[in-house]
Structure 1
Amino acid sequence: MGREILTVAETVSNEKGVSREAIFEALEQALVAATKKKFYEGTNSEEARLRVEIDRKTGDYTTFRQWEVVADEDHEMPACQDAISDLDPTKCSIGDIRELEVESIEFGRIAAQIAKQVIVQKIREAERALVADAYASKVGELVYGEVKKQTKDGFIIDLGDNAEAYLARDEVIPKELLRPKQRVSAILYEVNREGRGAQLLLSRAKPAMLIALMQKEIPEISEEIIEIKAATRQPGVRAKIAVKTNDHRIDPVGACIGMRGTRIQSVQQELNNERIDVVVWSDDPAQYIASALEPADVSGIVIDEDARTADIIFATSDQLARAIGSQGQNVRLASDLTGYKLDMMLEEEYRARQQNETQKYLDMFVTRLDIDEGLAMALVEMGFTSFEEIAYVPAETFNEIELDVDTVELLQSRAKEIALAEALQQQENIQEPSPELLSMEGMTQEIAYALASRGVITIDDLADQATDDIADIDGLGAQKAGQLIMKARESWFN
């Protein structure tokens, strides 16, 4: 019996390339399963804990049954647990494992059958581990294989050396036909070490595929003379790739395209004739965006770096249409490539929008700061778009519009009051106080918004209040609260 086990371990280890130790462990698991099936089949067969130990030199084995020592209140599974009160506390403690040698099953037909199943599973796991180890360092690289078969959702690709990969239909270039026995290249984007599902996952549609092909076809990229900064694709239709030269003597676009386009054509053919735009990367966002929108000519760009948005201005509708591209391809890819949301418009549209925005800020400053239109226009022309900006810039900022110290102080005081009120409204998510309440004699915007945070929106709401209800508001107090309430109640008597 021992010799038979040694023979099995040696033979399987040599044939399958799995270590003898892994085979012995698989045999021990199989003997445990077979012993349970023969001697412990019944209501508590799953609860019984067994251990089989094979002598690695002789092949002989011994079987042990195990019980865990637990507290009395946790003694719920007698088949594999011992209550501490039933044992000698000087010889064991909670958490110990008590073992007892039991009868061993013969290594017969049932044990051999179970052993075969366990060993096959171990072999599969070992083979998956070997494949995973072999390809883990190749993630992000091109791999080559042959289409072995087509499944419902994709293709099995034979990579050779007993390695198979999975190319999902979603990762194939649209309208691309792959047939059995056809040679194909793809990017390896993931190695799945789990026991379920495909192990090596391939893609021909991800931007990484384009990057890998460019590295393969263009020596300057593999030599790091030219650096790829970003890439985006609409697979099978169009792609954009941003490059930067580390040697000012080399034109990165020309090097990527090659003489008469030979280099870029090789990449395009591999990608089912996908059109590829090579863009010069720049650390200046405006210049980078303009390059990404080529072949359109941009007249102007207004960028908001914090919001990652940009207004792109064009002189003619033809240039605007060229920038947008067929079904929005060009602008969508340019946006993905640069990381900016792009808003495209003609010059007249931009001017009209600017006029509307200017008028909006002009009206806002005139109404809420209570200043004349000339001063409001001066503030707009200086670039102010919020009360917070006006409130907290250094006072000397206003020197260019020749305001005296008292006027600057009053202007910033009003702006600060409004900014604080707006912040309070936003923080409390309250309603706007009514215009009548805001314009009431003795009312300030800060107090009005503080009242609104308590549901006092209109003059009638204020008239319904008692002095004690609102006296604790900052800047108010009992006396002024009483005066405002009486002022609000005048409409009742009138």
Structure 2
Amino acid sequence: MTSTIGQSIEALCTEQGLDRDMVIEAMKDAVKAAARKQFKAQDKTGESIEVEWNNEEGMIEISLQKTVVEEVENSYAELSLADAQELAGDEIEIGDMLQIPLPQEEMGRIAAQTAKQILVQKVREAIREKVYDEYIDRKGELINGTVKRFERGDMIIDLGNNLEAILPRREQSRGEIWNQGERTRVVIVDVSKDQKGQQIRVSRASSELIKRLFEMEVPEIYDDTVVIKSAVREPGDRAKIAVTSNEKDVDPVGACVGMKGSRVQSIIKELRGEKIDIIEWSDEPSVFAANALSPAKVSQVRITDINKRKMEVIVGEDQLSLAIGKKGQNVRLATRLVGWDIDIVSEEVLKKEIALQMGKMMASGEAVPITALEGVSANQAETLSEKGIADVEALAAASIDDLVDFLDVSLDEAEAILSSAKAIVEARNVEVEAPETDEAVVEDSETREITDEETSGPSDSKEEIASPESESDEVEKVSENEELTSEAVGENAAAADEDSPDARAEEER
């Protein structure tokens, strides 16, 4: 070990950004561990061996520390006064501590290798501790890096200063393809102290990435004029971000979109074409949910269970597929963005349910006012009553032209009112006919049971076993029938002979 050790320490501290005193302490520990193995003859336990750093000469000094005593009991830690005075002079007294230098040249290759391994390990631990302390408070921060290599689907990102981060496959955005050497932006999601692998785990699929990108592109977000309330993503496909403004004069959505979409387009380009919906945030859940389902237009929002955070969103038939989205993507992102369970309901289905309920009410004898129909106000109901249309059934029998004249509404509005009334009457008729159909089915089943009983009686008598006497009587009847049959055949033959031409000729003769 020469003075070049000092130069090596300075280079290591500069390159890795380590504290010089920490590196020196690590080196002292490494050399002490190697010296304990090398100088076992002088000290079996190694507790008396001391290692110090000489700043002036820039090298390590190894010594054996012993206590001066009158009578030596432990030769490894004690030294007699005569031997001590011989080594250090007559000034030595009993009780003094004497450091005896040990020759570094005697430290062989094995000891040097041991010192190197320990030093490398301690320096590595110090570097990882430094990285952890530096980056643990930077979670969610956007950093730049270069694609260095690929390992079983994972990407290793070079952050500079001999520091690497890992981008796992699950944190990569679907559809993105990267080549070695390309620059990329990632967000820090975790920092670990593990001794193996990369300490820093980054992501391109996290919703924090889109937040940081908007902060960089939109000055209003950077100075807190516009605030990002929440953001959700399905990486590579679509993202939704909710924003609000702290100033009334600033439009939060317009600020994020930019002039002709310049700001949001740069973020879409960074995310390789991922679609972004910018939503205006509201503290009212129903309003926020209606905005979150953009680009679909919502007709009505009903909160069904406030404790379980459930709501129904009613949309038109032409907006149903748009509200649900491809494979349910739009409503799924809106649910995550709002934090409520959203159930999409079609207006047509809802109208049918309401008509069915009103039809049941009419079938049970309850009165259904005309004002219960959608689009009919109290004043319009009075007008219809004056014209002789006092109930839903009379309204269903009216014509569209009459409704247009009576209510002064458009053809579309009149048609909607009339269709609602007809649907209620039809539902009432179904409810009324249902019991009669059930009674007819019951009577039919009873008739079938009676018929089955009547037909089963004769069949049972046929199945009775005939006695031997009845069998003999039947045989005699059969023989008598055969005799009668033969006689009849003979008579018929004779009659045939009489009717023949020869018989007639004979009679003429």
What TM-score results when the alignment is normalised by the length of structure 1? Answer: 0.57
Residue 12 in structure 1 maps to residue 13 in structure 2: no
The CA distance in 1 between the partners of 2:195 and 2:133, in whole Å, is 14
Counterpart residue number, 1:314: 315
The CA distance in 1 between the partners of 2:190 and 2:356, in whole Å, is 51
Displacement, 1:200? Answer: 1.8
Counterpart residue number, 1:53: 50
Displacement, 1:349? Answer: 3.8
- SS of match in other structure, 2:249: coil
Counterpart residue number, 2:373: none
The CA distance in 2 between the partners of 1:296 and 1:9, in whole Å, is 71
Counterpart residue number, 1:260: 260
- Structure 1 residues 9 and 115: alpha-carbon distance in aligned structure 2, compared to 1, 3 A threshold: same
- SS of match in other structure, 2:295: coil
Counterpart residue number, 1:122: 122
The CA distance in 2 between the partners of 1:194 and 1:275, in whole Å, is 37
Displacement, 1:59? Answer: 3.9
The CA distance in 2 between the partners of 1:148 and 1:202, in whole Å, is 14
- SS of match in other structure, 1:336: helix
The CA distance in 2 between the partners of 1:157 and 1:188, in whole Å, is 12
Displacement, 1:155? Answer: 1.3
The CA distance in 1 between the partners of 2:185 and 2:6, in whole Å, is 39
Displacement, 1:286? Answer: 0.2
The equivalences for 1:260-339 within 5 A come to 260-303=260-303, 304-316=305-317, 318-339=318-339
- SS of match in other structure, 1:342: strand
CA RMSD of aligned residues (A): 3.5
> Does the 8 Å CA contact 2:154/2:169 hold for their aligned counterparts?
yes
The CA distance in 1 between the partners of 2:277 and 2:21, in whole Å, is 56
- Structure 1 residues 212 and 52: alpha-carbon distance in aligned structure 2, compared to 1, 3 A threshold: farther
Displacement, 1:287? Answer: 0.1
Counterpart residue number, 1:368: none
- Look up the equivalent residue of 2:246 and give its one-letter code: N
The equivalences for 1:415-426 within 5 A come to none
Displacement, 1:189? Answer: 2.0
Counterpart residue number, 1:421: none
Please identify, of 181-190 and 269-278, the stretch whose mean Cα deviation from structure 2 is larger. 181-190
Counterpart residue number, 2:163: 163
Q: Deviations over 1:64-103 (max 9, x none)?
A: 99xxxxxxxxxxxxxxxxxxxxxxxxxxxxxxxxxxx999
The CA distance in 2 between the partners of 1:265 and 1:203, in whole Å, is 21
- SS of match in other structure, 1:56: strand
> Does the 8 Å CA contact 2:38/2:107 hold for their aligned counterparts?
no
- SS of match in other structure, 1:118: helix
> Does the 8 Å CA contact 1:155/1:169 hold for their aligned counterparts?
yes
Displacement, 1:193? Answer: 3.3
The CA distance in 1 between the partners of 2:284 and 2:210, in whole Å, is 25
The CA distance in 2 between the partners of 1:138 and 1:337, in whole Å, is 25
What TM-score results when the alignment is normalised by the length of structure 2? Answer: 0.56
- Look up the equivalent residue of 1:200 and give its one-letter code: I
- SS of match in other structure, 1:146: strand
Counterpart residue number, 1:145: 145
> Does the 8 Å CA contact 1:9/1:20 hold for their aligned counterparts?
no
- Look up the equivalent residue of 2:309 and give its one-letter code: R
- Look up the equivalent residue of 1:237 and give its one-letter code: D
The CA distance in 1 between the partners of 2:146 and 2:325, in whole Å, is 36
- Structure 1 residues 108 and 294: alpha-carbon distance in aligned structure 2, compared to 1, 3 A threshold: same
- Structure 1 residues 27 and 338: alpha-carbon distance in aligned structure 2, compared to 1, 3 A threshold: same
Counterpart residue number, 1:243: 243
Displacement, 1:197? Answer: 2.7
Please identify, of 159-168 and 22-31, the stretch whose mean Cα deviation from structure 2 is larger. 22-31
> Does the 8 Å CA contact 1:26/1:115 hold for their aligned counterparts?
no
Counterpart residue number, 1:202: 202
Displacement, 1:34? Answer: 3.5
Q: Which runs of 5+ in 1 are unaligned?
A: 66-100, 363-372, 375-494
- SS of match in other structure, 2:164: strand
The CA distance in 2 between the partners of 1:341 and 1:63, in whole Å, is 75
The CA distance in 2 between the partners of 1:334 and 1:102, in whole Å, is 77
- SS of match in other structure, 2:298: coil
Displacement, 1:126? Answer: 2.7
Displacement, 1:297? Answer: 1.7
Displacement, 1:355? Answer: 9.4
The CA distance in 2 between the partners of 1:252 and 1:176, in whole Å, is 29
The equivalences for 1:183-194 within 5 A come to 183-194=183-194
- Structure 1 residues 20 and 134: alpha-carbon distance in aligned structure 2, compared to 1, 3 A threshold: closer
The CA distance in 1 between the partners of 2:214 and 2:189, in whole Å, is 17
- Look up the equivalent residue of 2:52 and give its one-letter code: D
The equivalences for 1:317-466 within 5 A come to 318-350=318-350
Please identify, of 105-114 and 176-185, the stretch whose mean Cα deviation from structure 2 is larger. 105-114
- SS of match in other structure, 2:332: helix
- Structure 1 residues 308 and 51: alpha-carbon distance in aligned structure 2, compared to 1, 3 A threshold: farther
> Does the 8 Å CA contact 1:30/1:111 hold for their aligned counterparts?
no
Q: Deviations over 1:32-77 (max 9, x none)?
A: 544565688xxxx9xx785753133484335699xxxxxxxxxxxx
Counterpart residue number, 2:69: none
Displacement, 1:224? Answer: 1.0
- SS of match in other structure, 1:14: helix
> Does the 8 Å CA contact 2:31/2:51 hold for their aligned counterparts?
no
- Look up the equivalent residue of 2:10 and give its one-letter code: N
Counterpart residue number, 1:473: none
Displacement, 1:235? Answer: 0.5
> Does the 8 Å CA contact 2:143/2:188 hold for their aligned counterparts?
yes
The CA distance in 2 between the partners of 1:320 and 1:159, in whole Å, is 47
> Does the 8 Å CA contact 1:144/1:183 hold for their aligned counterparts?
yes
The CA distance in 1 between the partners of 2:49 and 2:11, in whole Å, is 25
The CA distance in 2 between the partners of 1:329 and 1:52, in whole Å, is 70
Q: Deviations over 1:179-224 (max 9, x none)?
A: 1111111112222233233122211110001001111111111111
Q: Deviations over 1:412-445 (max 9, x none)?
A: xxxxxxxxxxxxxxxxxxxxxxxxxxxxxxxxxx
- Structure 1 residues 19 and 326: alpha-carbon distance in aligned structure 2, compared to 1, 3 A threshold: closer
The CA distance in 1 between the partners of 2:28 and 2:108, in whole Å, is 14
The CA distance in 2 between the partners of 1:340 and 1:357, in whole Å, is 28
- SS of match in other structure, 1:233: strand
The CA distance in 1 between the partners of 2:46 and 2:355, in whole Å, is 82
Counterpart residue number, 1:461: none
> Does the 8 Å CA contact 1:50/1:63 hold for their aligned counterparts?
no
Displacement, 1:132? Answer: 3.6
Q: What is the percentage of aligned positions where both structures have the same residue?
A: 39
Displacement, 1:348? Answer: 4.8
The CA distance in 1 between the partners of 2:239 and 2:19, in whole Å, is 48
- SS of match in other structure, 1:213: helix
Please identify, of 275-284 and 336-345, the stretch whose mean Cα deviation from structure 2 is larger. 336-345
> Does the 8 Å CA contact 1:216/1:222 hold for their aligned counterparts?
yes
> Does the 8 Å CA contact 1:28/1:52 hold for their aligned counterparts?
no
